[in-house]
Structure 1
């Protein structure tokens, strides 16, 4: 890959409406003034960035040119704008149990489902299982709903049906070229950009206690409105030369809860994309979540409450600021 670049794509709101823009430092180029360069792309709409991804090979070069043309176009101060979700994903594929330490911690937090074992036994058995998965297994995916997507700085309402809502910071890959049964060696060539997601989870809904033979219920536990903050930006893939050497950090009210490298992934980003593409064609605008590292609330014994502030940061990709609000019931 080339040297890191210094611009990103966002979808923002300001005094003149919503628009797709190029973010360079503390300035944003309003691409509506450059619409002649993006024929057929609705630069006012949430689907605008996905339309850019549909012809990323062409549009990427134009975006980079405009990002470096500081004396042309319409530029606005970032401080006057609100970042919105930078992508309306077509499909959301979520990798589960993909950080070794995280899975071990989760197994311990759910140890009540394995009555009679000690914490040490659960840790040892889970570590052995993870090592075997790496040697012999394949990634585990489930499907998220686009209706759960929200912006990087939006408040998120905690549904009143539970008090066990949790955070899961993740690196997400944005597909820019159709990928069908690609190999791990070529998989990263199909990534247009990377972004931040916080895959919020309702812990007591993960397992179906009434149907233990069915196992997990990702539909109910992960798809409440706003449970997938995305952004703030789509950072071109070239700015992340090694997705297995990126630091993820999440703070809760200023306290560090997650602070881990993507090096702890069981399956690499390339292996995840390759595995997903064996079953379903990946298309531009698809979002591949790559799992969350250790340090979730279930591990700390501290779940989300009304008024909490999560700051989720991934090196080179920016930060999210998510405040939680309790649902008002009648």
Structure 2
């Protein structure tokens, strides 16, 4: 099921974006979407192939991008209203790279909240200490990246099922970079050349299963806490990099049932998009269509003492990338 798309005065920046759509009872297909919410079926104008996908387009991105620019300005191409179609996650990646502890204010808040036993210093002193640690980390340390599963991805307006075992499901709105060229051991300076565009991700997490209770020395259990089906609402669009002037200064806003929970700029990131992409590429080969999630700012449910439950509606938006709306539905016991 899906909910009505979130209202937006400007769905995305630039003259066009990529999407994956389907007509009722029809197969999914790659589409060019314009800001006035008209759709061009890219199967009919680029390849005449029912097997064409957004990921295949990204595999030929340097040649495809100029053709998309031309199509966006070609008034003779058939266009249909977006309202006729269902919007899916814009791409099916082979790999999902996720980031933790990458927003300065968020990590400082965590540092202050988790006071060591016997530490009676005032909050201002502990906050200043945390800020100094963040400065050193940005200058000298490395990003924290782990792997997510593509099977956790769902559409930007689809319902999200909360598993019965998830005791503390939480939200994490994030900017996601979409890779457009194979990238391996690329430098920070050249990293953004390998990014085709950006989209919105909500990286849901069950806080109760992040750490293994049966064997604490193992540490984090990202498989269980983050990869339930539907735990990564994605999209609605992939907006090309050329339409986003500065990915390191975009506003992220997440509202829960209309109340603002997260509201921060990507300029608060400790490691910016280029550093994240470069770092991931030092160990792995990034492939076209892969996602690099860049972390989530302050304002998660654990901060507010209010976690997700049946019937909640999340509205997530990022400057220039549009908005997603997802409803939480409790798993029905079998």
For normalisation by structure 2, the TM-score amounts to 0.90
2:32 to 17, 22, 28: 22
* Aligned twin of 1:258: 262
Q: How many angstroms does 1:115 deviate by? A: 4.6
Separation in 2 of the partners of 1:211 and 1:130? 29
Task: Select which of 58, 68, 76 maps to 2:63.
Answer: 58
Count of aligned positions: 318
2: CA distance, partners of 1:116 / 1:226 = 42
In the TM superposition, residue 167 of structure 1 has moved relative to its aligned partner by 0.4
**How much has 1:117 moved relative to structure 2?**
4.6
Distance in structure 1 (CA, Å) of the matches to 2:202 and 2:196? 20
Aligned in 2, Cα 1:221/1:122: closer, same or farther, shift over 3 Å?
A: farther
Name the CA distance, whole Å, in 2 between partners of 1:81 and 1:246: 28
Task: Find the aligned partners of 2:152 and 2:173 in 1 and give their Cα distance.
Answer: 15
**Contact 2:257–2:312 (Cα < 8 Å) also in 1:** yes
Counterpart in 2 of 1:7? 16
The residue number in structure 1 matching 2:193 is 189
CA contact (8 A) 2:43 2:49 kept: no
What RMSD in Å do the two structures reach over aligned CA positions? 1.9
Does the Cα contact within 8 Å between 1:151 and 1:229 map onto a contact in 2? yes
Q: Which runs of 5+ in 1 are unaligned?
A: none
* Contiguous gaps of at least 5 residues in structure 2: 1-12
Match of 2:43 in 1: 32
- Give yes or no for contact 2:40–2:77 (8 Å, CA) kept in 1: no
Give 1:245 shift: 0.9
For residues 12 and 318 of structure 1, what CA distance do their matches in structure 2 show? 16
Distance 1:130 1:215 in 2: 22
Per the alignment, residue 201 of structure 1 pairs with 205
Match of 1:245 in 2: 249
Q: 1: distance between equivalents of 2:332 and 2:131?
A: 41
* Separation (CA, whole Å) in 2 of partners of 1:196 and 1:303: 21
2:169 corresponds in structure 1 to 165
CA contact (8 A) 1:169 1:293 kept: yes
Match of 1:212 in 2: 216
Q: State the SS of the aligned residue for 1:134.
A: helix
Mapped to 1, the partners of 2:238 and 2:105 lie a distance apart of 28
Q: CA deviation at 1:80?
A: 1.8
Q: C-alpha displacement at 1:6, in angstroms?
A: 1.4
SS at match of 1:42: coil
